[in-house]
């Protein structure tokens, strides 16, 4: 019995190794995923863009600003001098945090009173905001401890940090996760439907029947894309309703822009799914191709870990990932009412990605039909 089992094991191992496609599947995806996960999946928060609104301008306030900008946690993004600029920088994500120093800062220090320092954080990424809040508290506590030891301050005096998180004041993790899941769940569904579409037809033998119909290749492609697009768009609005009415999330954006954004995003995902379907010969190969794409795409989307903390090559690679733009846009539509320029800033990369992926899928589809 053991001899027969051993012979069968050897036979299966030889089949796996001799099949060129299976060698690629066994060796390359795990290697690629380990490399991407190792560099991109980090829960450390470093080099957070920090805007500075220093209304005091004295040596004491400049010293506190220097402690923020010299730390590895923050990168100086620029000076701000009015509330509207502060709002614009947070809205456009030019700064993830803004340090606001009160004009009475040095006077309060000289009088040995608590001096007001405010840190305004972008609460759309609640995990980053919590870590940034702790970094800021540590920097201010160190400043107080060192100045107290030097005898320049009395106990209970010195800078007192006040943190405000915009768009997610309680830093509720559901407000951070559910908008991202809205984009991810719909993308997984639409990619699977389209990846299995042509592969299933070919496996069942009905693909040849399409070739003898009067339908042209482009018409067949539209016929396969449209149902999944309708279903996915309906599912996106269904998840939105569940998030708002069952979990109490706000939705402050525009419903028409929400629908337009998802259609553009779904077209890019459909193009990737159809390209996988055109290459795969079986449904199993199609499913495997989808998950090979999804694993690094989710990691590079910025859902769990900040893209800013990834190595430069990972950040560059994320630029061709449509999920990155849709997660940012979905969170903005849920938690605030973004302006049209901010919406278009996230939409135009997805439009380019969708055009390329759908064009590539059409070429592969025509070659299969030919």
The three state secondary structure string of 98-113 is EEEECCCHHHHHHCCC
Assign 166 a pLDDT band (cuts: 50, 70, 90).
confident
pTM over 0.85: no
Assign 244 a pLDDT band (cuts: 50, 70, 90).
confident
Stretch 95-107: mean pLDDT: 85
Distance of CA 367 to the CA centre of its chain: 34
Stretch 267-275: mean pLDDT: 85
Report pLDDT digits (tens) over 130-144: 788 888 888 888 877
Stretch 60-77: mean pLDDT: 84
Nearest to 193 by CA among 296, 289, 287, 321: 287
* Three-state secondary structure readout of the chain: CHHHHHHHHHHHHHHHHHCHHHHHHHHHHHHHHHHHHHHHCCCCCCCEEEEEEECCCCHHHHHHHHHHHHCCCEEEEEECCCHHHHHHHHHCCCCCEEEEECCCHHHHHHCCCEEEEEEEEECCCHHHHHHHHHHHHHHHHHHHHHHHHCCCCCCCCEEEEEEEEECCCCCCHHHHHHHHHHHHHHHHHHHHHHHHHHHHHHHHCCHHHHHCCCCCHHHHHHHHHHHHHHHHHHHHHHHHHHHHHCCCCCCCCCHHHHHHHHHHHHHHHHHHHHHHHHHCCCHHHHHHHHHHHHHHHHHCCCCCCCHHHCCHHHHHHHCCCHHHHHHHHHHHHHHCCCCHHHHHHHHHHHHHHHHHHHHHHHHHHHHHHC
Stretch 325-333: mean pLDDT: 90
Q: CA-CA distance, 330 to 327, in Å (whole number)?
A: 5
When mean pLDDT is compared over 15-24, 25-34, 319-328, the highest value belongs to: 319-328
Stretch 275-286: mean pLDDT: 79
CB 98 within 8 Å of CB 51: yes
Domains of the chain, start order: 48-166 (3.40.1710.10), 172-369 (no CATH)
Residues 6+ apart with CB under 8 A from 161: 117, 118, 119, 136, 137, 140
CB 69 within 8 Å of CB 75: yes
Report pLDDT digits (tens) over 169-224: 777 777 878 888 888 888 888 888 777 777 777 777 666 666 666 766 667 777 77
């Amino acid at each position: 019995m053991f001899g027969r089992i051993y012979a069968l094991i050897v036979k299966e191992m030889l089949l796996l190794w001799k099949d060129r496609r299976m060698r690629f599947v066994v060796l390359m995806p795990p290697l690629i995923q380990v490399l991407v996960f190792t560099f991109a999946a980090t829960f450390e928060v470093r080099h957070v863009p920090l805007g500075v609104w220093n209304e005091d301008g004295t040596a004491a306030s400049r010293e506190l600003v220097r402690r923020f900008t010299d730390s590895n946690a923050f990168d100086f993004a620029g000076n701000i001098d009015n509330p509207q600029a502060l709002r614009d920088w947070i809205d456009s994500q030019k700064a993830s945090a803004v340090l606001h120093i009160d004009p009475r800062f040095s006077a309060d220090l000289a009088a040995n009173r608590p001096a007001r320092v405010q840190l305004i954080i972008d609460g759309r990424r609640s995990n980053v905001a919590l870590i940034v809040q702790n970094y800021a508290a540590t920097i201010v506590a160190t400043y107080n401890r060192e100045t107290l030891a030097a005898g320049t301050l009395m106990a209970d005096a010195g800078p007192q940090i006040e943190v405000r998180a915009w768009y997610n004041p309680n830093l509720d993790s559901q407000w951070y996760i559910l908008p991202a899941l809205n984009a991810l769940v719909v993308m997984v569904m639409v990619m699977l439907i389209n990846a299995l579409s042509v592969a299933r037809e070919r496996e069942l033998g009905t693909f040849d029947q399409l070739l003898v119909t009067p339908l042209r290749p482009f018409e067949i492609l539209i016929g396969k894309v449209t149902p999944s697009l309708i279903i996915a768009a309906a599912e996106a609005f269904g998840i939105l309703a569940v998030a708002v009415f069952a979990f109490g999330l706000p939705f402050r954006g525009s419903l028409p822009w929400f629908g337009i954004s998802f259609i553009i995003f779904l077209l890019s995902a459909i193009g990737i799914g159809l390209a996988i379907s055109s290459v795969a010969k079986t449904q199993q190969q199609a499913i495997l191709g989808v998950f090979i794409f999804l694993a690094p795409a989710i990691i590079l989307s910025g859902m769990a870990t900040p893209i800013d903390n990834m190595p430069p090559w990972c950040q560059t690679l994320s630029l061709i990932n449509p999920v990155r733009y849709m997660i940012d846009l979905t969170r903005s539509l849920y938690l605030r009412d973004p302006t049209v320029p901010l919406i278009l800033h996230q939409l135009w990369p997805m439009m380019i990605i969708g055009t390329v992926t759908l064009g590539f899928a059409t070429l592969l589809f025509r070659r299969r039909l030919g």
